[in-house]
A and B are shown apart, each in its own frame.
Chain A
Amino acid sequence: MRRSAAALAICLAVAAPGMSQGTPESLLDGVTLQEVIRHAAIAPQIVDYEGTKVLSVLRGQTMESVTLIETRKRPGKTRLEFISPEGVAGRLVIDDGLVTWHYEPRLHTVFIGPSLAPPHDPPPPGWLSEYDLGLLGVEEVVGRRTAVLSLKHRSGTGERRLWIDRTTGVALRAEERNPADGLSLVSYFTRISFGLNVPAALFGARNPAGARVVGPAGPSEPLLTLPETEKAVGFGLEFPLVLPGNFTLRGGAPTRHGSMLAASLEYSDGARSLLLFVAPTARMGPIGRGDPVPALGAQARTFGAGGLRIVTWEIRGQRLTLAGPLPLADLLGMAAAISQRGGR
């Protein structure tokens, strides 16, 4: 009932055409921004839709645009059918909430991995406590009224803008921007249909005849405590429990691929996650990819991949890699903090 009230309030508040400016109270008719965001967070669990989406992702110094058909069926099923560019055309991803099934037609190969579905439970209270929320106005996207929200991290690093559909709570447009890169990710629907009775068969993953199957990897395993992670990987982990920007350690896990073994420590600010990967230099050589980062040593490198950025460097016999959806300057600041206090 409360969610419906919030949706109705947004509906009433964003009736004006074009981008309208005003106070949150006047535009949202008394509904708080937190309520709007909370509604947006649970919308994918309660709304069915099918639409064509364009992703523009920063890769290096250029933006790459990818077009796909995105279909959602409640409570947690997602189907992504990539259309362009040619290199990804035909790629099909089906996520049933437990595992992700990915078929790559040009390789006639199926990959089975963990689900990328959002958590089913509503976000915990305070999950956006590190962010300043703002209402930028109201705007029309693909013929639908939206509330344009801004989420700025308190450390001043980056900003996320969301165009929240007044009726359903679905984000019809999203932008990630930061002072260094400008826009690093733009995602928007060019058309969308709600209220469909999306057939369940669309989410049935069946391996094509003769396809090679890579995996399968099951659902994500729960995070371990730091001592449990140390025991699992066989080497010590002495790192800060909190990183700049109030990214707090949630836990760790061993990360394996073939003979490679690293520890991954997950930090979160309540919404976004940073991962710190640790491997002894005796087991992992210097990463040659990316641009040098002299401030972190001769072996330090950084590179970005579609809105995510990686910084890798060495300290006291360990190769550390910090990865997350943050600008380079922020990751470098965190790397410096880790180098001062962490490593073994």
Chain B
Amino acid sequence: MNHARASRLLSAYIDEELSPDEMAAIGGHLADCPGCRAEIQELRATKRLLGSLGRPEMPPGFAADTWSRVAPQARPRLLWWPVRLPHPATAIAVLVLVLAMVTAPAIRGHQVRLRAAEVGPDLFLQRTARAQAGDPLADRAFLGLVFTDASLRLIGEDPREAAR
């Protein structure tokens, strides 16, 4: 066994937690390694020192006091699933988010329908006026009037609003 591995197992060697083969291998290494011998002597001294410390006595009422502090923070488990109920504000926020995700496409689709119905007639008029440009006998001033009126309506302006 090399020095690095033996050094990591010294604490377990003292506590006799290794297999017989490992105990024998470390024992052989200790015979040849003065560094590990010195280290194991320090570990044994430390263990003895800790073993000599007495057990501290708890003050009277310590356990009851501790439980009285911990008990109010405990949450009952309502479900078999080990999840605690969220805070009401968090729950509402999550609910609103889910509803928004579900309803947003529908609302947007409705808005698109309404917008299309609103701008459609003017857009169609504009396109129709432009299509009449293919008629060589069409009156250009008339087409220009219809086309520009529709352009104004498409941006929400009244084409006949008097100048201010």
Contact = CB atoms under 8 A, between A and B. Distances in A.
Q: Which of B112, B145, B159, B162 has the most CB of A within 10 A?
A: B145
A264 B116 contact: no
A75 interface: no
Interface residues of A, number: 86
A334 B163 CA distance: 40
Interface stretch (B15-23, B59-67, B127-135): B127-135
B161 A257 contact: no
Interface residues on B, range: 35 or more
A260 B109 CA distance: 11
Contacts, number: 198
Nearest to B108: A259
Contacts of A151: 137
A172 to B, nearest CB: 11
B140 A80 contact: yes
Interface string B40-51: 000000000000
Q: Which of A89, A104, A281 has the most CB of B within 10 A?
A: A104
A18 interface: no
A217 B158 CA distance: 21
Given A88-B159, A91-B148, A285 B116 contact: yes
B124 to A, nearest CB: 5
Contact of B124 (A42, A90, A307, A310): A310
Nearest to B152: A104
Nearest to B117: A285
Interface in A105-138: 105-107, 109, 111, 113-119, 123, 127
B146 A306 contact: yes
Given A258-B115, A283-B116, A42 B136 contact: yes
Given A89-B163, A273-B128, A285 B114 contact: yes
A116 B140 contact: yes
25 contacts: A41-B136, A42-B136, A55-B142, A78-B144, A87-B163, A100-B144, A107-B157, A109-B155, A119-B134, A127-B136, A187-B139, A255-B124, A260-B119, A262-B116, A264-B127, A275-B131, A282-B109, A284-B120, A287-B120, A287-B121, A303-B121, A305-B125, A306-B145, A321-B121, A323-B125
Interface of A: 37, 40-42, 44, 53, 55, 57, 66, 68, 70, 78, 80, 82, 85-91, 93, 95, 100, 102, 104-107, 109, 111, 113-119, 123, 127, 151, 160, 162, 171, 174, 185, 187, 214, 220, 255, 257-260, 262, 264, 266, 268, 271-275, 277, 279, 281-290, 303, 305-308, 310, 312, 321, 323-325
